[in-house]
Each structure stands twice: as C-alpha cells, then as structure tokens.
Amino acid sequence: MEYALITGASKGIGRAIARELAARGFNVLLIARSADLLQQLAAEIGSRYTVKTDWLALDLSTAEAPQNVYDWCRARGYAVSILVNNAGYGLSGSFEKYTLPEHLNMMQLNMSTLVGMTRLFLPDLHQRPKAYILNIASSAAYQAVPKLTLYAATKAFVLAFSRGLHQELHKTTVSVTCVSPGATDTDFPNRAQLGEKGRKAAEKLNMTPETVATLAIKGMFAGKAEIITGFINKLGAAMAWLLPKSVVERTAMKIYE
C-alpha cells in the first residue's frame, strides 16, 4: 500500500498538506516532534477520510533522523510514493544573536535532513509507477534577507537543489517540485522570534496554510519545477531579479530591524 510522507506535519503548511492529500485519497504518514498533535491529526484524518494513517514523533533536526524515518517505513512495510519535505524553521535578528549550535541546528533541519530524506527514499520512489517529491522553500529564497540571513540562505539552497534534481530526474517516473510560500498564517513568526515590525508586515500579506497547500499539491501533480504562491510573492521575486541587489537587501532588512 502506497503512502504520502509529510515531515513537519503537526502544524501549519505540513498539516494542511496532509489534509489535502488525504482528501485526495492518499494514505498519509505524519512525521514531527509533537506526539500529541500528530495523534490528534491522524485521528482526525482517519475519521474524515477513507485512508490509512500512521505517525512518528521524533526530532528531525538530528543527523540520524532521516535514517530513522526510513528504517521505520521499511520496518512497517510502507511504500512511499509522495515525499513532502516540509519541516523547517527560521531565526530572525542579527546573525551574531545566535550561537553556532543554534545556527547549525537550523541548517541541519532545513537542508541536511531534506537532502538525507530525499537520498534515502529516492531509490524506492523510482520503483513506483509515478512518484513525487515536494520540497518547501520560501519567498526568502530569491534574495539575501539581512536579519534573516542564514534562514534565507538555507531556503536558497532548497530551491537550487530542487530545481537541479527536477532536471536530473525529468526522464524518470519521479517528479520534483519546490514551492516557495511567502507570509503564511503559521507559527513561523514565533519560532523565528520576529520583531513587531516583521509580524505586522507578515500579517498584511498572510495566506492561509490551506491555500498554500492547495497550490503546492496542484503544482506538484502538474509536474512543475517551481511554484511561488501569490501574486505579491511572484512580484517580489521578479523585483529581486530586476533591481540592484543592494536596494532589495536594504529594503528587506528594514522589515526585520
């Protein structure tokens, strides 16, 4: 029996994607840290839709997490045909505000865990008649964002990695899509410790996780390499390409100062 596996599934965009896929008839595997939230979501999905669910609570920011997830799936006989690498977080403020372990932990989750999950599951995905990888980046991937410096850099990595892999696999049965949401009504501002100015700017442009999930899943099944959610975010990415980098970067920094 085939499943969609979603990391960071307990909240926000990950939770919305899990619900969207279940509504489309896909069995779902839910991975995140919070056992209580995962159990609640699995019960909700199981009662609303005629699909199978299971969940695994673990910290995805550890180096061994991808192997642990993969081994769990193999031990239970779960065949994954959709891999959603959604887990991630940001840190706002001066780069020097945070310790090296804090920075490395974010890099591990946003980049290394995503790469590890992709590499471990890819051979199995090749065995499916049609399979999909959906990676979650950010509108911050399109320019340097001072005061979100390292977070934006990790998401630029996710975007470049996803686009490259999309081309590598375009003649196979595996399709790779990267979605770059902008401000979304999730717990990101709290986890990233955004200041009041940044919170107010985000609130003006917030999309719902459900809207982002719908756009992401639609684009994934359409085989798109890249999706930017919302007109304003698309415009921002275009401006980041057209305008001098220093202008874009200083404008972005004013939001997070």
Domain boundaries, the chain: 2-256
Residues 216 and 180: their CA atoms lie apart, in Å, by 9
By DSSP bridging, strand 27-32 and strand 53-57 are: parallel
- Quick: pLDDT tens for 32-72: 999 999 999 999 999 999 999 999 999 999 999 999 999 99
Residues 91 and 89: their CA atoms lie apart, in Å, by 7
Spatial neighbors of 74 by CB under 8 A, at least 6 apart, are none
142 is catalytic: no
- Of 70, 142, 151, 256, which residue is the catalytic one? 151
- Quick: pLDDT tens for 128-183: 999 999 999 999 999 999 999 999 999 999 999 999 999 999 999 999 999 999 87
Q: In the chain, where do the E strands start and end?
A: 2-7, 27-32, 53-57, 79-85, 131-136, 174-180, 226-228
- Quick: pLDDT tens for 188-199: 555 545 555 544
Among 116, 154, 155, 109, CA closest to 133: 116
Give the architecture (CATH level 2) of 2-256. 3-Layer(aba) Sandwich (3.40)
Displacement of CA 129 from its chain's centroid (Å): 24
